[in-house]
A and B are shown apart, each in its own frame.
Chain A
């Protein structure tokens, strides 16, 4: 065998550990619950969950369809079956409120989990139905929703697609991505970087320690952002559609030269930039210890 062949064989052998690392066989037990409710105007749905992957979709149907999968993954069937009971799942309707609750509770005599437990909740609701979601350690996705929507998320990602109406959202440590946000939105974000694409309507956003990207805003009526220790970037195609008031304290203002107006120093460590006709929708951004960047494509 020539030296060249030795090198090829050595290379191929060295790849085996990379291919076969750390895979193991896991047993999965899934308990699936299906429930359907008739919808009456004024009904509210409240979801209080943890370690849940929640998907809520607005529909034209006058009913609420809930499919919940309680999942337990473990090395043996016995452990997976046994620990499936750690899920404490309830769904009930009291008057006009549908309550869905899931907790994962480790019994006192058990030291630690031996199985990976999580929940998948898929809900179809009328688009106008009031929705209140609280989810910790899990992701939340809401699509095609109008009416009142309240979201409270901790340690999980949030995806909103075509959500309008009245939105109140709080997030602590996660990622937020929205596409087609409309109506009145109030967003309170801590340690939550956000990408907001194609937004319209009114948006009030507070962010701390999470960068904000406003991408291709549609028919925004007003945008107010107060950010702290976060950069705010706006990316869009048309530049003279809005009236701007941008203020950066202890940060930079990056404005394309095509506007023809440069930021001015208001006081030490404060930059201000104003631009646009008074009758245009207002974009008001105040950044503290962060940069504001306008990027016209």
Chain B
């Protein structure tokens, strides 16, 4: 885990006091809302449907038990006893008071956390593979580079007022668990033929109104040149990004309009200049950062056998646990998707319980996933039963990872001022419709994602099954799309046909999955079948007319 040095702590502390002054000036009337809004947004404070909402950054989704306990403490003391883990690996509180906001940030700063750049047209929290540092298929841990980028991008004077928000994801394995190609910049650690470490650099991906999978802009960027190259990528965007049209302001539009080849040419030209500025850190600094992400002491001779006689435990084991790169150890994903629950929500007691589990069983480390679950990354296989027992006690042992009920859903119209339709009730109804675990397991991997508006915070474009809520003459209506993926085979889903009511879309999802069951071949996931046969069989089943 990265630990703040004196500079990190000083700038976060100073930012808290600066924001405290800004809040006081707003409360006294010295500042208007128009003046205050961009300032509060740069500190993660939104005004949502029912109250102020505070988005707390969890850099690259990694946190320790002390930080997790703090999140629970804030939920109890300042909010309504719960928090919402987001698709950006952050946490949101929905019921914040303006006169508490600076105190909350001050409490967060005591555990090296903040809400800086969790909103606004700047470089947002860097996201990463939730299995980073523990995955067996990893070239290298991406988090030291994510941390380097956090330091580079925090308060970067050129990039605080970009044409639009900017999101970066970093992975270190072939399997993409972070939807890397659907980010403004996606970085994948690779080794070249000579064995040197570097990045594949993808630029211009994104979801929202105009979803795009990012093209490859650089096949191999030496890892030591990362900061300079990204500086060049951002400079070209900052110079030519469309500031005249909100809907065309993301970098994906620029890359698409001028073409990947021309964008690459301009970046390479800028890079030649930037490289002379000495922005990349000396090797010793990167080594200092990397040392803080060293693997904890794990005994490779730890016993690997697991007693599976409890059938409920065995089910959970098969669904929620994968092998760690060190023998005798495992990575546990804790589902925040109980049947009928709110995806990503956790009570303060549950947050504390997960923190305690991390402290006792996972070398004090947790991860937030972009799929709104929590990971214990470094667990002894011998401890799995004890972990499962404790998760059962706190309602956190749902065994549904990557199944149809492991739904990503944005807060939707229940909380969000931008939303057109509710997302959460739909997720609840689908989890109830498919509550039977045998049925879910038979259907296999189905990534179902729901957004309450075209901004796509619920990643519906990347869902094997995606649902988008729209406003149709004042009524909620839901568009269904199939064929999306946020994984290494990234793709954007296609709308299947006319939209549905809330109940209608649940029925349509069921018809689609039953159609899949009927035509799948051995080993095919829903997505594979859809890609093989196309939309027609699904359309026919979903839109069939009842006999007259």
Bind each other: no
